[in-house]
């Protein structure tokens, strides 16, 4: 095992909770009210832990012999495979070790092997390959420090190429209100918040592990996200000048938070919007929003996180099927299948474990 990997795992083991056994700080049991609150908190955490265990068991059975996971009827997917890898990591599992270690290594290898000669990480033709590319680039950045050679070297090479493509796509000439962002294709001349969110997460994660990501590229992306903030800073729009939704609010919040713009005016306006208009299961992209709203509001912290958690966790626990999976019931997410929804639910539920570097405050 490499010295760097030992250091990573030692730090995690010494400072972070273990999936299935994590307990939050308990309030003083001096009064019956505090005792009841502490008991309810312990019960909630136990329910979350069990839901995560069951969700991972479901995912482990869905992995294809190739190492990939499928998305709906479209077959094997680099994005879904990357989301699955991060779901296991978010619960404290690492490649090469434990009950899922070999499965994770096979999945990572499959993603790396599907990087095209043009540096794009995507398995098949898509109207929006930058989505898949951003998700997979984020995964590679999150996992690179936990691997041993030869996979570690291959992942770092793939990550370097992937980040280069993201930077080139950002540098395509665009109108001023689209500048700094990304859209469906690496050659797109416009931008949107959704695609841009994944690229920005990938850039920040890559920069954190030593990749060459100029700070000016991060700054330009932040400027684009801020232009997506709606009038009076009450949420974020899909593109500048549009209307807010809870999912877009979560995306904008997380994008700014991971770039160090903690509790900016735009963030706090969107956080207030989310408290007043929380995500609902009938929202068009509920599971997408579950991920972004949970991680974003966790980083904001305080009452914004506790209110979001107390709203979303019961919904997710109730929505989990007996086989451990989640499935979208509304909107276009219904076609994405159980693997996608399960990954997004698990990534949201595991945020308090803080195992993924991107989750840490």
Q: How far apart are CA 189 and CA 194, in angstroms?
A: 15
What pLDDT digit, counting tens, does each position of 173-201 carry? 999 999 999 999 999 999 999 999 999 99
Query: Secondary structure of the chain in the HEC alphabet?
Result: CCHHHHHHHHHHHHHCCCCCCCCCCCCCCCCHHHHHHHHHHHHHHHHHHHHHHHHHHHHHHHCCCCCCEECCCCCEEHHHHHHHHHHHHHCCCCCCCCCCHHHHHHHHHHHHHCECCCCCECCCCCCCHHHHHHHHHHHHHHHHHHCCCCHHHHHHHHHHHHHHHHHHHHCCCCCHHHCCCCCCCCCCCCCCHHHHHHHHHHHHHHHHCCCCCCHHHHHHHHHHHHHCECHHHCCEECCCCCCECHHHHHHHHHHHHHCCCCCCHHHHHHHHHHHHCCCCCCCCCHHHHHHHHHHHHHHHCHHHHHHHHHHHHHHHHHHCCCCCCCCCCCCHHHHHHHHHHHHHHHHHHCHHHCCCHHHCC
| pLDDT digits 0-9 by tens, 289-300 | 999 999 999 999
Count other Cβ atoms within 10 Å, centred on residue 42: 13
pLDDT exceeds 50 at position 43: yes
Please tell me the pTM assigned to this model. 0.89
At residue 170, the pLDDT reads 98
Supply 69's token pair.
Answer: 């996971």
CA distance 34 to 233: 37
Over the chain, what is the mean pLDDT?
Answer: 91
Measured distance CA(274)–CA(269) in Å, rounded: 9
Closest C-alpha to 100, from 133, 55, 144, 139? 55
Report residue 21's pLDDT band, with 50, 70 and 90 as the boundaries: very low
* Tens-digit pLDDT profile for residues 124-153: 777 789 999 999 999 999 999 999 999 999
In the prediction, which pLDDT does 233 show? 79
Radius of gyration of the chain (CA): 19
Instruction: Name the class of domain 47-359.
Output: mainly alpha
For residue 333 the two structure tokens come to 């997410």
Q: Give residue 28's pLDDT.
A: 54
Q: Is 275 exposed, middle or buried (0-12, 13-18, 19+ CB in 10 A)?
A: middle
Question: For 201-219, what is each residue's pLDDT tens digit?
Answer: 999 999 999 999 999 999 9
- Give residue 307's pLDDT band: very low, low, confident or very high (50, 70, 90): very high
């Amino acid at each position: 095992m490499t010295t760097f990997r030992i250091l990573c795992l030692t730090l995690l083991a010494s400072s972070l909770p273990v999936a299935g056994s994590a307990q939050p700080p308990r309030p003083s049991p001096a009064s019956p009210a505090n005792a009841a609150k502490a008991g309810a908190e312990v019960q909630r955490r136990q329910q979350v832990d069990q839901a995560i265990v069951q969700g991972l068991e479901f995912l482990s059975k869905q992995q294809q012999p190739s190492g990939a996971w499928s998305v709906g009827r479209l077959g094997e997917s680099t994005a879904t495979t990357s989301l699955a890898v991060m779901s296991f990591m978010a619960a404290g599992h690492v490649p090469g070790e434990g009950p899922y270690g070999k499965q994770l290594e096979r999945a990572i290898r499959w993603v790396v092997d599907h990087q095209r000669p043009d540096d794009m990480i995507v398995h098949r033709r898509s109207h929006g390959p930058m989505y898949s590319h951003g998700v997979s680039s984020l995964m590679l950045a999150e996992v690179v420090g936990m691997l041993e050679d030869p996979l570690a070297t291959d992942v770092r090479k793939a990550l370097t190429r992937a980040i280069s493509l993201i930077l080139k796509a950002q540098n395509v000439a665009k109108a001023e209100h689209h500048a700094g962002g990304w859209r469906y294709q690496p050659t797109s001349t416009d931008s949107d918040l959704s695609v841009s969110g994944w690229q920005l997460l990938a850039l920040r994660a890559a920069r954190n592990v030593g990749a060459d990501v100029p700070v000016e590229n991060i700054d330009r992306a932040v400027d684009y996200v801020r232009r997506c903030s709606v009038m009076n800073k009450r949420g974020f729009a899909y593109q500048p000048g549009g209307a807010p939704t809870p999912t877009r609010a979560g995306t904008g919040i997380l994008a700014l938070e991971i770039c160090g713009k903690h509790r900016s005016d735009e963030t706090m306006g969107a956080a207030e919007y989310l408290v007043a208009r929380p995500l609902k299961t009938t929202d068009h992209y509920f599971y997408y929003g579950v991920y972004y709203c949970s991680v974003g509001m966790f980083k904001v912290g305080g009452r914004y996180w506790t209110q979001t958690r107390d709203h979303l966790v019961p919904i997710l626990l109730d929505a989990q099927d007996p086989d451990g999976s989640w499935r979208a019931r509304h909107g276009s997410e219904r076609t994405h299948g159980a693997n996608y929804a399960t990954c997004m639910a698990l990534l949201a539920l595991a945020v308090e474990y803080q195992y993924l570097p991107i989750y840490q405050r």
